[in-house]
Amino acid sequence: MKSFFKIIAYLLLTILVIAGGLILYVKTMLPDVGKAPDHKIEVTQELIARGSYLANSVNVCMDCHSTRDWGKFSGPLKQGTLGVGGEVFNQDFGFPGEYHSKNITPFALQNWTDGEIYRAITSGVNKDGKPLFPVMPYKKYGQMADEDVYAVIAYIRSLEPMESHPKKSSSDFPMNIIINTIPSPGNPQERPDKSDVLAYGAYLTNAAACGDCHTPMDKGNPIPGLEFAGGFEFKMPPFGIVRSANITPHPTSGIGNWSEEMFVLRFKTYADSSYVPHEVSESQFQTVMPWMMYSTMEEEDLKAIFAYLKTLKPIENKVRIFTSQKDL
């Protein structure tokens, strides 16, 4: 009997040693995305203009790296906060930690090289090689064409330098270990010509990370077979829970019966000069969807995204878009 307990003890000790070794490896050796490339971007007004369009209308970088007014519908950006960071993504909203968006104006990035910024956007590590939590969809950005990433970098370099010091982000256990395994080297793709509408639409859909929000998750992983079928839950206290819509071409629970005109209008409604976001009170419908930013996307690009979405597999998934805080 004593021999049996000794064997069990040795097995447990072995397991603990292996587990400890794995944790030590993950915490000290990962992420391993390589050194920052030696990029030096030649900034032009054309490049800045392209970067401004991407950062504000497609990638919507400024959505998270500015301050949003959550007292108004869709959380429009507060004037004078472009790039200062400070938006909080914490346990109240269902995140496995407390994450604060960073200041990305030249005040904060003055000591970053272009290559370090490029690596952060495309591979998910900071200047020191530490992992970033994928609130920023860097795995999607890592598939963008290099010239588009360069454009975004040129644009944020052109922002007004503004002093702010967002709090340091932190992850709860076990995400504080898992996070080291998430970053990976980017895999840049060529930007398709606009004449290839479906390929260009797929490129834009990736760049806008539509699938990240419109695919339901289970323990942080996309549920296979429900890609773009909606149902991703966003906890939004004190309003409630909002869920992403099904944007597959299913005829009843998706956008299968939508016309191109309907799709474009759904965005462009918020671009109308007469539109003013209404105030939203506790338990009233609110959304994380940055309609005001996406509404500035070019119609040609919105049409390309719609054309691509219509090629997806239709998935039946009826989504209850909103549950009020008072009903939780």
Task: With beta carbons less than 8 A apart as the criterion, state whether 103 and 162 touch.
Answer: yes
Residue 1: its pLDDT value, please? 57
Task: For residue 185, give the nearest of 225, 230, 129 by alpha carbon.
Answer: 129
pLDDT-derived band at 30, boundaries 50, 70, 90:
confident
Q: Six-digit token pair at 55? A: 């950062």
Report the pLDDT averaged over residues 287-303: 98
Lowest mean pLDDT among 16-25, 102-111, 229-238: 16-25
Q: Six-digit token pair at 252? A: 């009843």
Task: With beta carbons less than 8 A apart as the criterion, state whether 89 and 135 touch.
Answer: yes
Residue 24: its pLDDT value, please? 73
Q: Cα–chain-centroid distance for residue 188?
A: 17
Residue 75 gets the label, from left (phi > 0), alpha (psi -120 to 50) or beta, of left
Please tell me what DSSP assigns to residue 244: P
The Cα–Cα gap between 312 and 296 comes to 25
Residue 17: its pLDDT value, please? 74
Mean of per-residue pLDDT scores for the chain: 95
The Cα–Cα gap between 262 and 260 comes to 5
- pLDDT at residue 2 above 70? no
Range 168-175 contact pairs with CB under 8 angstroms and sequence separation of 24 or more? 168/100, 169/97, 169/98, 169/99, 169/100, 169/133, 170/97, 170/98, 170/99, 171/96, 171/97, 171/133, 172/91, 172/96, 172/97, 175/96, 175/97, 175/133
Residue 18: its pLDDT value, please? 77
Report the pLDDT averaged over residues 9-23: 73
Residue 4: its pLDDT value, please? 61
pLDDT-derived band at 3, boundaries 50, 70, 90:
confident
Residue ranges per structural domain of the chain:
1-30, 34-191, 194-328
The Cα–Cα gap between 201 and 262 comes to 17
Phi, psi of 281 (to 5 degrees): -100, 175
Across the beta sheet with 88-89, what order do the strands follow? Answer: 88-89, 97-100, 170-171
Task: With beta carbons less than 8 A apart as the criterion, state whether 220 and 94 touch.
Answer: no
Question: What are 96-115's pLDDT values in tens digits?
Answer: 999 999 999 999 999 999 99
Residue 20: its pLDDT value, please? 72
Residue 124: its pLDDT value, please? 98
The Cα–Cα gap between 230 and 250 comes to 12
What is the share, in percent, of the chain residues with pLDDT greater than 90? 88
What is the share, in percent, of the chain residues with pLDDT greater than 70? 97
Task: With beta carbons less than 8 A apart as the criterion, state whether 312 and 266 touch.
Answer: no
Q: Which amino acid is at 73?
A: F
pLDDT-derived band at 147, boundaries 50, 70, 90:
very high
Q: Six-digit token pair at 270? A: 């918020």
Secondary element (H or E) of residue 221 = strand 221-222
Residue 5: its pLDDT value, please? 62
Residue 23: its pLDDT value, please? 74
Task: For residue 168, give the nearest of 99, 121, 105, 117 by alpha carbon.
Answer: 99
Q: What is the pTM of this model?
A: 0.94
- pLDDT at residue 7 above 70? no
Report the pLDDT averaged over residues 254-276: 96
Cα R_g (the chain), whole angstroms = 22
- pLDDT at residue 135 above 80? yes
